[in-house]
Structure 1
Amino acid sequence: MERNSNIPIRNIYYMLSYAYQTLNLSEYKEIGTENFENIQELYAEILSIGIPVLIRGGLSKDYISVEETSNVIKGKIDINSTIKKNTLVNKKVAVVYDEFSEDILLNQIIKATLIYLARSNKINQKMRKSFYGLLPYFTEVSDVELDLNLWKKVKYNRQNIRYQFIVDVCRYLYEQLLFDESSISQMMKELQDEQTLSSLYEKFIYAFFKRETSYKVSKSQIQWNVDDGFADALPIMQTDLILQKDNKTLIVDAKFYSENMAARFVGGAAKQKSSNLYQIFSYINNWKKRPDETVAGMLLYAKTTALNQPNHLYNIKGKQVFVVSLDLQQDFVGIQENLLAHANRFFTEA
């Protein structure tokens, strides 16, 4: 299988820069001039700079529910717990109350990551010491066992959005080290790398067009164009990117795969992936367009080293579907130029 495993680390840095504008802060400027031997070094360097930035800004706090036995009544008395624990013997009751605390999931993830990195032999000694030196700032934060499921529970809001970049990088680095240190097969590790880079690729594509073009950029959900209004149990159509200008709309779906085209048997002719085509065709057919609006779809694949790469334009029932690829191994200037050219191909045509 041809994989996207040879993306230059410098390009991954640029993708991160677009996907997370936090990386444009002055504290990170020197990272762009450094050379890293592997992606783990890049992630670790980002965390060694970014976590102290979070600490200087003050660790986020939120109200958490606290349960304890006390001879002072505060919050609510838990009658059942009081009886079960027989606390009245000692003239105490079980109480439940809210406390404004640093002991929240986001801080727990960062603390657990620091502990993990401080002990990992995959990180150089100097970096391990720097991570260990940050732990005293998290003394009020509970210890949790680091697990990929922790990130699924994270929710962001206006108060804690500054954590998103660092917490995501914590996950990227943990995944890299976890699979390096385990006995999991090389194929499984490559699939995990692919999933991580796929998420970053989608974020990058969206942020690039948001920052570098004058298009109206969004990533809305598309509602099914049902006849009777009944849409229960229909899958959500969540777009990666929608570009709009004047009376033209381009719906883009970013794809990061091991293989961009498929053959039914070894040596057979490479074909478009049917599920991807069905998906983008559903998007453009269910888009509620204005009478004067032209709507098209684009499948934007990250290029692999396979001989056959998507580079096609289909006209199906009066709708255009572009199927193209983007070479992430080229110089980043070329990446920028290719992205603009792919979009302009639709928006500049008569």
Structure 2
Amino acid sequence: MTYVVPLVEHAPARPFLMADQVGRALAAAKILDEAAPDPYEPGTWRLRAGSKVGAVALTVPGAGAVTVRITPKVPVPRLFFLLGYSADPGGWQDGMVDLAEHSDLLPALAHAVERQTDRALRQGLLQGYRIVEEASLVVRGRIREADQIKRRSGMPMPVEVAYDEFTTDIAENQILRTAVDRLLRLPGVPRAIRTRLLHQRTRLADITTLVRGQPVPAWRPTRLNARYHGALHLAKVVLEGASAEHLPGGLRMDGFVFDMNRVYEDFVCAALREALRPYGGRSVLQAKGVHMDEGDSVRLRPDFVWYSDSGAPGIVADAKYKARKRSGYPNEDLYQMLAYCTALGLSEGHLVYAKGNALLTSHRVRRAGTVLHQHALDLDQQPDALLAEVQELIRHMVAGR
């Protein structure tokens, strides 16, 4: 039997009729905030999505398959803006990705990747140099002497060599090929888009597919690969979010899931960094080397710290996508920010929430005088208005220094 479970990010739990084996499989996959049997309705499971959005297919031995589709609360075009701006604030343009008629996340992503890949490959595959290490009967490049001694025990042939090869099998094409392959394996990609993705895979047929679990090869934006930039940024989203795992009990999970907490955090940090450029200094994301105690044994990692030209910390901020309390912001966020301010020697700290159920507020800490600000960004705005709101937020932060 095939089960289809449609959910919405952070929506209340919903009951679904399904076999206990399938419900337990969903609980084991850990993609939902809640997956538990209903105590009053036998054969019913209550399911609730958290911050993870996307589509996942679970194959359950002896019980069929279940497909979970989690829709983000943020409109899909806005979500693509957040993703794109985080990856490339300077080069991203609203409308760069044509989402056509697709309002669901996965079809929209597959469509966007295919269109951008087609645009990138329209002038042919990009070529470049890559380092090749191999055993050869002909000496070319340089001889890898250590490997020759280790592997050949002094024999003259074959020779372990390394050389630069001018080829299409480079990092940029490998990333696109792997992203296309993974999209073709995901559930919920419409047939028309799948057909176009197969065409792109044919274009990339001679390119090496990246091995799952290994780091994505580095590539550097240049004038020569400028036509690839949009496709590569979207391909990175696919490679970071796609998964194929074997879980306990013979379960197999294939899908595309990413965490809205991470998406929002990356956007806020990138937007703050760009807005602070006119003020000089340097911005550090996921700051390291910050400790709460004098013995440097309790580490802290603020999402964002701005240091002035003198090297002194001037602004600290943390991005919070979801306020978990219905009545307002959670107190534990304030405790965390107070620790950051104390460790950095700052009199003010800033918590930046996605606009929800609470308004802008500030708290002055007793006997310390530290002021903790809680801001809210409205993600339902158009990109220009959203970035303008970030600019206003920066003016507030700078004025408080």
Q: Show the 5 A alignment for 1:35-50.
A: 35-50=101-116
Q: 2:132 aligns with which of 62, 65, 74?
A: 65
Stretches of structure 1 lacking an aligned partner (at least 5 in a row): 288-294
Stretches of structure 2 lacking an aligned partner (at least 5 in a row): 1-9, 12-49, 52-71
- The corresponding residue for 1:328 is 379
Q: How much has 1:114 moved relative to structure 2?
A: 1.7
Q: How much has 1:300 moved relative to structure 2?
A: 0.6
Contact 1:298 1:324 in 2 (8 A): yes
Q: How much has 1:44 moved relative to structure 2?
A: 2.0
- The corresponding residue for 2:76 is 9
Report the CA distance shift for 1:345/1:143 in structure 2 as closer, same or farther (over 3 A). Answer: closer
**1:141 aligns to 2:201 (yes or no):** no
Q: Show the 5 A alignment for 1:185-224.
A: 193-194=258-259, 197-209=260-272, 215-216=278-279, 218-220=282-284, 221=287, 224=290
**AA at the equivalent of 2:353:** Y
Aligned mates of 1:44, 1:248 — CA distance in 2: 42
Q: What is the root-mean-square deviation of aligned Cα atoms in Å?
A: 4.7
**AA at the equivalent of 1:301:** Y
Contact 1:216 1:243 in 2 (8 A): no
Name the structure where helix makes up a greater proportion of residues.
1
3-state SS, counterpart of residue 98 of structure 2: helix
3-state SS, counterpart of residue 169 of structure 1: helix
- Deviations, residues 177-201 of structure 1 (Å, cap 9, x unaligned): 6489x9789xxx99x532xx33332
Contact 2:362 2:372 in 1 (8 A): yes
**1:116 aligns to 2:185 (yes or no):** no
Report the CA distance shift for 1:115/1:224 in structure 2 as closer, same or farther (over 3 A). Answer: closer
Q: How much has 1:7 moved relative to structure 2?
A: 0.7
Q: Show the 5 A alignment for 1:212-291.
A: 215-216=278-279, 218-220=282-284, 221=287, 224=290, 235=299, 237=301, 239-240=303-304, 242=306, 249-257=314-322, 260-261=323-324, 270-273=330-333, 276-282=336-342, 284-285=344-345
Q: How much has 1:6 moved relative to structure 2?
A: 0.7
Q: 2:198 aligns with which of 129, 132, 137?
A: 132
Report the CA distance shift for 1:241/1:164 in structure 2 as closer, same or farther (over 3 A). Answer: farther
Q: How much has 1:315 moved relative to structure 2?
A: 2.4
Q: How much has 1:117 moved relative to structure 2?
A: 2.7
Aligned mates of 2:339, 2:129 — CA distance in 1: 40
**1:319 aligns to 2:379 (yes or no):** no
- The corresponding residue for 1:297 is 349
Contact 1:303 1:328 in 2 (8 A): yes
- The corresponding residue for 1:24 is 93
Q: Which has the higher contact order (CA 8 A, sep 6+)?
A: 1
Q: How much has 1:215 moved relative to structure 2?
A: 4.8
Aligned mates of 1:59, 1:271 — CA distance in 2: 52
- Deviations, residues 230-269 of structure 1 (Å, cap 9, x unaligned): 86x7747464363979x99433222234xx2469xxx9x9
Aligned mates of 2:316, 2:382 — CA distance in 1: 26
- The corresponding residue for 1:292 is none
Answer with 154-163 or 61-70: which moved more: 154-163
**AA at the equivalent of 1:9:** V
Aligned residues: 313
**1:99 aligns to 2:171 (yes or no):** no
Q: How much has 1:170 moved relative to structure 2?
A: 2.3
3-state SS, counterpart of residue 267 of structure 2: helix
* Percent of matched pairs sharing the same residue: 12
- Deviations, residues 41-77 of structure 1 (Å, cap 9, x unaligned): 3322332232244434853634323212315465215
The TM-score, its normalising length taken from structure 1, stands at 0.66
- Deviations, residues 113-171 of structure 1 (Å, cap 9, x unaligned): 222334545222232222222234434432334x3x34x45434455986665444224
Q: Show the 5 A alignment for 1:152-163.
A: 152-157=215-220, 159=222
The TM-score, its normalising length taken from structure 2, stands at 0.59
**AA at the equivalent of 1:141:** I
Contact 2:352 2:377 in 1 (8 A): yes
**AA at the equivalent of 2:74:** I
Aligned mates of 2:230, 2:187 — CA distance in 1: 24
Contact 1:110 1:167 in 2 (8 A): yes
Answer with 310-319 or 233-242: which moved more: 233-242
Name the structure where strand makes up a greater proportion of residues.
2
3-state SS, counterpart of residue 319 of structure 2: strand
